[in-house]
Amino acid sequence: MIGRFMALAGLLIGMTQAAFAEEDPLAEAMARDPERFLERAVDLIAGFGAADGLRAEGIEAHIALERAGARASALRRFQAMDLNVDGVVDRAELAVSRQAASATARGRLERQFQAADANGDGKVDAQEIAAIAQGAALRALGGDEAEVLRALLRLDANGDGALVAGEVEQALAGLGTDT
């Protein structure tokens, strides 16, 4: 009788965890690869946390920095093609950049130029470059991923507003993972 009860309890716990994971992106991320989740969480805590742990401000700083890096990378690509430094990349400048690029990079340059030239005038101006850079920022760390990062604070077991590695380990143990 006790054995059946334990089996049923285990089944119910497993079903609850599965249902929770299906509805909760944080739980999904934890369950998908607990070891990787722990490593990334600990790195985030160490890199953006204060002495008492990771707070909301640290998460927002991480999100902003990741997006800024992607935005800067996109801006650098177009600035490198702006040979006359007028803030606009035209097809002639693209052609020069393509000559210096590998075959794979030539295709990528053309694709990026076409995507950036929103009005189809054969030039990529400052506004179009800014829009491409913002898109790159959001692709680097999208809204869903940012929400999962913000949801990390739900693992703050003692409610002090700061997440520490032990609390992440405790939450993973609660999911029945071996970390």
Q: Whole-prediction pTM value?
A: 0.75
Domain enclosing residue 165, as ranges: 2-174
User: Above pLDDT 90, what percent of the chain?
Assistant: 81
Confidence of residue 1 (pLDDT cuts 50, 70, 90): very low
pLDDT at 10 over 90: no
What is the pLDDT averaged over residues 63-70?
A: 96
> CB within 8 A of 71, min separation 6: which ones?
133, 134, 136, 137
Confidence of residue 174 (pLDDT cuts 50, 70, 90): confident
29 sits in the region (left: phi over 0; alpha: psi -120 to 50; else beta) called: alpha
The answer to whether the CB of 78 falls within 8 A of the CB of 93 is: no
22 within some domain: yes
Structure confidence at residue 175 (pLDDT): 81
> CB within 8 A of 151, min separation 6: which ones?
24, 25, 26
What is the pLDDT averaged over residues 59-80?
A: 95
Kindly report the average pLDDT of the chain as a whole number.
87
Per-residue pLDDT of 88-119, as tens digits, reads 999 999 999 999 999 889 999 999 999 999 99
Structure confidence at residue 150 (pLDDT): 96
Residue with tokens 């249902």: 19
179 within some domain: no
> 133 or 13: whose pLDDT is higher?
133
Structure confidence at residue 178 (pLDDT): 53
What is the pLDDT averaged over residues 54-58?
A: 97
Closest among 142, 123, 137 to 78, alpha carbons compared: 123
pLDDT at 168 over 50: yes
Closest among 155, 120, 40 to 128, alpha carbons compared: 120
92 within some domain: yes
Number of domains in the chain: 1
Closest among 144, 141, 165, 163 to 154, alpha carbons compared: 163
> 119 or 14: whose pLDDT is higher?
119
Structure confidence at residue 22 (pLDDT): 53
